Amino acid sequence: MLAAIEASLGHLRRAETAVARVVLAAPDAVLGDSIGQLAAKAGVSEPTVLRFCRAAGFAGFQDFKLRLAQHLAATAARAQAARGTVALARDLEPGDSVGGAAEKVLNRAIDALTRLRDTLDPAALERAARALVKAGRVEIVGMGASGAVAQDAYHKLFRLLRSVAASSDAHLQAMAAATLGPGDVMLAISKTGTSNEILEAAAIAREGGATVIAITGAGTPLAALAGTLLVVDVDEDTAVHTPMASRLAQLALIDALTVAVGLLSPPDLNQRLARIKAALRGRHRTGDATPPARHLEET
């Protein structure tokens, strides 16, 4: 992709060439830029950035950023494979002991949670919680590891809200998004913010008038679609490594969001939670380790 942009320099207009040179000089930095930030770096207008994107063969700025993210991830994966290092988690090396590897994993988890604590926007968290409390329907979507986080969010929020569903199936996500309208909410979860399925669902939901809340990194295509953004920025290349620290940060943010929803919920919430607790009473074994007797009907 970058080679194609470089090859197109001779065919671009002067202002478009300025944008191309900024991209080629620091593609990783550009990935986190908004269209306005990229325009400022190149010393051009935002329409010029759009013209560059189309001249370079992209549908628009978001398509350009999505393709750039995919290109950089593929490049990183090839470099990782060439080095022959362990691709389970960053910083692991083939000679690491089990204890040393565990310490690295735990330290990265601690770093991710500390960063989330230090960067969390309380105002955005409250906006998201208020939107969820007021929503007629809530659809939670995520793919891959973020799909597991979406299920955790469902497990927590369905007890507090009127109507909640979650899906990690692309077809169901798109269909559910198409049924959302004003007063409804889509909670979209994606570490990379570049998943085509999640971007499509979020775009459909927003087009229908629903509020889109995104849990993702800043400057990602998904962030651009969000009405309310809850940022989780963890230095973790999930195109190469198994997502670990980022998933823990997402789960912690879901916990914080759940507590915020509880604080803003109507007074009858305690009665609802008490009914749920009562429904589960007797389903956990306590004290007596003797298994219950099985009664078999004669046939």
Residue with tokens 């080679």: 3
Give residue-wise pLDDT tens across range 234-250. 876 555 555 678 889 99
pTM score of the predicted model = 0.67
Looking at the DSSP bridge assignments, the partners of residue 90 are none
| Length in residues, the chain | 299
- In the chain, % of residues over pLDDT 70: 86
Domains of the chain plus CATH, in order, are 2-81 (1.10.10.10), 112-266 (3.40.50.10490)
DSSP secondary structure string, 181-237?
A: -TT-EEEEE-SSS--HHHHHHHHHHHHTT-EEEEEE-TTSHHHHH-SEEEE------
> HSE (CB half, 13 Å, CA atoms) of 154?
21
Chain-centre distance for alpha carbon 207: 20
Residues 68-103, buried b or exposed e (16+ Cβ, 10 A)? bbebbbeeeeeebeeeeebeebbebeeeeeeeebee
Residues 167-221: pLDDT tens digits? 989 999 999 999 999 999 999 999 889 888 999 999 999 999 999 999 998 888 9
**Neighbour count for residue 169 (Cβ, 10 Å):** 13
Please tell me the predicted confidence (pLDDT) of residue 29.
Answer: 86
* Span 126-156, pLDDT tens digits: 999 999 999 999 999 999 889 999 999 999 9
230 touches 258 (CB < 8 A): no
CA distance 81 to 66: 23
For 78-132, the pLDDT digits (tens) are: 665 555 544 455 566 667 788 887 888 888 888 889 989 999 999 999 999 999 9
Chain-centroid distance of CA 71 in Å reads: 19
Q: Tell me which residue of 88, 290, 69, 110 sits closest to 199, measured CA to CA.
A: 69
